Amino acid sequence: MYELKQEQVQQFDEDGYVLVEHLFDAEEMDLLLRIAKADQQVIQQSRVRRDASSGLSKFWITGALGEDIFSAVVHSDRIVNAMEQILRGEVYHYHHKVMLKEPFVGGAWEWHQDYGYWYSNGCLFPYMASCLIAIDQSTKENGCLQVIKGSHLMGRIDHGKTGEQTGADINRVNEALKHLELVHCEIKPGTALFFHCNLLHRSDSNLSPYPRWSLICCYNAARNPCQEKPNHPAYQRLEKWPDSRIREIGRRQLVKPDLH
């Protein structure tokens, strides 16, 4: 059974995030890359949000699970077990999304906390976290995720409209940047970033010729009451799947690409 090391759990508690290298192997990431880039549902149902400079940020989101490779990753032992360690108990799937930051046109995401959104969904406590898996290599040039180390300890910050996005109070963010470290999370495919729902994070526009796609799996603690919202469900028991299901489902999905 996969588990985070105790020092990794401690790092999450102190910094609000932890990077786990090589959580997924080369074959798993090849399957995820090929299926994600060919998935017409992801492409056709993606949503667009303008940033403060009118750049276009695209993403696809769902609260539903099925027999596809994204769902296999959500169910996987290695992510769910790690989430249960850092959130101290049973977790369930809150939603998952694919971020589509395309070459030259992928817009920025403004500073925000996920709980800045999820608080408005009626989630009572910030017992929530996400796991970002790099599908493409993530660099400063193609707009990698940036985090403010330790900012989750500030608690929830007021959020308001920034372009078509919801962003954190920029005065509060700027004050945090005077005292806390800004970290650019440059990561390779297969690396996972676990981060707290109150961690301040953003990303720049992609001005490079290289795409930056990522899969983000979001979880809520089973003990944390949340109202049912579209793509943001209330508690439903999450079955853990053996990690081998990622390969099994991925190989099958390549043969039958409409599988969901």
Return phi, psi of residue 117, to 5°: -85, -50
pLDDT at residue number 257: 65
Q: Which residue has the tokens 């694919």?
A: 98
From CA 220, how far away is CA 201, in angstroms rounded? 19
With H, G, I as helix, E, B as strand and everything else as coil, classify residue 151. Answer: helix
* CA-wise closest residue to 44 among 58, 24, 54: 58
pLDDT digits (tens, 9 = 90+) for 39-97: 988 988 888 776 666 567 788 999 999 999 999 999 999 999 999 999 999 999 999 99
Going from the N-terminus, what domains does the chain have, and what CATH number goes with each?
6-255 (2.60.120.620)
Residue 98's pLDDT is 95
Alpha-carbon radius of gyration of the chain: 17
Percent of the chain scoring above 90 in pLDDT? 80
Mean pLDDT of 211-235: 95
pLDDT of residue 259: 58
**What integer is the mean pLDDT of 206-229?**
95
The pLDDT tens digits for 148-190 are 999 999 999 999 887 777 789 999 999 999 999 999 999 999 9
Q: In what order do the strands lie in the sheet with 109-112?
A: 109-112, 201-203, 145-148, 182-185
Instruction: Tell me which amino acid residue 176 is.
Output: A
The pLDDT value given to residue 48: 74
| pLDDT score at 1 | 78
Mean pLDDT of 102-127: 90
DSSP assignment string, 16-81: SEEEETTSS-HHHHHHHHHHHHH-HHHHHT-EEEE-TTS-EEEEEEES---SSHHHHHHHBHHHHH
Give 215's strand partners.
Answer: 98, 133
Name the residue type at position 28: E
CA separation (Å) from 235 to 91, 93, 212, 260? Answer: 9, 8, 31, 22
